[in-house]
Structure 1
Amino acid sequence: MKKVLIFSFAYFPMVGGAEVAVKEITDRISGFQFDMVTRNFGTQKFEKIGNINVYRVKGPKLFFPFIAFCKAVRLNKKNKYDATWSIMANRAGFAALFFKFFNPKIPFLLTLQEGDEPDYPQRRMGIFYFFLKPFFRKIFTRADKIQVISSYLADWAKKKKWAQKTWK
C-alpha cells in the first residue's frame, strides 16, 4: 500500500472547495494510505475522515508551516511516505517545501486551487513578501508535479516562470 502525506492548512469542519475536492479524491482511490497534517481550529487532535487520517496541530497560524513540518517528520519516521501532496501554495505549501528540503527523494505534488487574485500572496505577506518571495517561489520550483484546476492557474504559475511542470 502506497502512503501519501497531505499538507492542508484547513480541513473539515473548516470547509471550502479545496477541502471538498481532497475528500472526494481520497474517498475514490483505494490502495493508498492518506495521512494529513492540518491546523487545529479547536477540534480533535486526530480523527479519521473518510479515507484520511487527519492529524491536527495547534499554534499560531504564522507558525503553521514549522509546526506542520515537525509533525510530518515524526509521522514520516513511523510511516515512510511514498509521496507528499500540498493543497494550495499557502502555509501548507511552505510546510511541504520544508519537508521536501529534508526529504528530496520523496515526490512532492502541489495542487493549485487558489481562488484569490494573483497579487494576493504579496498583499497578504506585506513587507515580509520581500523576504518570503524566494521561498514562495520554491514551493513551485521544488514541486515534482503541479496539478491545477484551471488554465488560468496554470498560466499564472507559468507566467511567473515558477512552474515548468504544470499539468491539468
Structure 2
Amino acid sequence: FNFVMLTGKYKFSLPREEKLGNIMVCRLGFGFSVDKFLLPVLVFLKFIFLKRKLLKPLLFWGIMISYSSIGAYFLKFLYPKVPFLLTVQEGNREWERNRFWWRLLLKKVDYVTAISSFLLEKAWEAGYSGKAEVVPNGVDLEKFSNPDVKKTLILSQKLGIKPDEKIIITVSRLTYKNAVDIIVRAMSFIKTEARLLIVGGGEEEKKLKKLARELKVENKIVFAAGSYDEIPAYLKLGHVLVRPSRSEGLGTAFLEAMAAGLPIIATSVGGIKDFLIDGETGLEVKVDDPEDLARKLDLLFSDEALRQKLIQNGRRLVEEKYQWSQIAAKMRDIFNSLL
C-alpha cells in the first residue's frame, strides 16, 4: 500500500512535504496553532489537487474524529464511492465534548476500527451501525524487551538513581486525565521506602511540583523529560508502572511496560479493561484514591511471588495480542476488504 498523509503543519520549521518510507506526508497550513481550524477545507482542496496523481483504488482513512477527518467527511459528498475508514483512538472524553462531530462523521463512515472495546461501544452509542472491529495499538516487543544498557546507565546516573532503590515509574503526559497527582499524594501514604520517577511533561507539571512540596514528598520524586526513544531505558529503571487514569482510550504505556517486564497498577476505566485483570495481569486501584494506590504499591513490593506472576502474565498477554506484526496483519485485511 502507498499512503498520503494530509496533516497540519504544526511547526513552521517542518517541511511542507516529506517522504517517509511508503508514506508521503503533506503538511497543510502555515505553522500556527490556529491552522487546525482550516484543516477540513485544506484537506478537501489538497485531495482534489492530488487525486489525478494517486494510484487507484483509493481509500480515505481518518485517524480520530479530528479536523483532518472532517475533511474526509466532506470529501465523501463529492466521492461517495471511495470507502471511508475511521480509527477511533481518543482518550480524553472527546466522545462527550465533541458529541456533535462524532454523530455527524460516523454517518459517512464505511468501517470503524477502535483501539479498545470501550471506544467501539462509544461509536455504537454515537449512532454508528456499520462494519467495525477492535484493532488495538501495538507494541514493539523487541524494543521494549531489550533497551540500550548504556542509555539506561547514563539515565540512572543523571537522575541520581541507585541500583538498590525501589522505583515507581509513570510515563504520562502531565494532564488531569492521567491523574499523576494521585500518585504524588500516594507517596505520603506508602510505607515502602521507594521513589517516584515521573517521565513526561504537560500543563500539570508546575501544579504537581507544588503539590509535592506541600505534601513534603519532593525528595521522593524525580521529574524527567524523555523522548519516546528513551522510554525503554526509563522503564528499565522501574520496578512497577503506575497510572491511576481518570479516563483512557486504551493505555499503550501499560502495554509497553508489560513488554519491558514491569508489573502495572491501574484504574479499570475506559480501554484499560481490555487488558487489566486484577491480580492476574496487574493490580486494580480505585479512581482518585491515593490511599488505595499506596496499599497496592506496598502489597506489590512485599509480595515477590505476586510481582513475578503479574510480570509473566503481562508479558504473555502482549506477546499474544499486542505485537505490531499482528496489528499490521489485521489492518492489511481491512484495507483489502474495502479496496
Does TM, scored on the shorter chain, surpass 0.5?
Answer: yes
CA distance in 2, matches of 1:80, 1:100: 18
2:111 counterpart (145, 148, 167): 145
Q: CA RMSD in A?
A: 1.7
- The corresponding residue for 1:36 is 5
Secondary structure class of the residue paired with 1:100: helix
- The corresponding residue for 1:164 is 130
Shift of 1:160: 2.1
1:56 lines up with 2:27 in the alignment: yes
- The corresponding residue for 2:180 is none
Q: Deviations over 1:68-127 (max 9, x none)?
A: 1100111112215521100111112201101111111111100001112131225xxxxx
CA distance in 2, matches of 1:141, 1:150: 21
CA distance in 2, matches of 1:63, 1:149: 27
- The corresponding residue for 1:9 is none
CA distance in 2, matches of 1:80, 1:70: 18
Unmatched 5+ residue regions in structure 1?
Answer: 1-31, 123-132
Larger relative strand fraction = 1
Unmatched 5+ residue regions in structure 2?
Answer: 135-339
**Superposed, which structure 2 residues align to 1:1-168 within 5 Å?**
32-41=1-10, 42=12, 43-59=14-30, 60-81=35-56, 82-117=58-93, 118-121=95-98, 133=100, 136-168=102-134
* Matched-pair contact (CA < 8 Å) for 1:47–1:54: yes
**Percent of matched pairs sharing the same residue:** 33
- The corresponding residue for 2:337 is none
Letter in 1 for 2:67: R
Moved over 3 A (4+): none
Shift of 1:62: 1.1
- The corresponding residue for 2:181 is none
Secondary structure class of the residue paired with 2:80: coil
CA distance in 1, matches of 2:15, 2:131: 36
Q: Deviations over 1:10-62 (max 9, x none)?
A: xxxxxxxxxxxxxxxxxxxxxx1111111012210100123210011115221
Letter in 2 for 1:64: L
Report the structure number with the largest CA radius of gyration: 2
CA distance in 2, matches of 1:93, 1:144: 13
CA distance in 2, matches of 1:65, 1:80: 23
* Matched-pair contact (CA < 8 Å) for 2:106–2:127: no
CA distance in 2, matches of 1:160, 1:144: 15
Shift of 1:136: 4.3
Secondary structure class of the residue paired with 2:2: strand
Shift of 1:166: 2.0
CA distance in 1, matches of 2:8, 2:52: 21
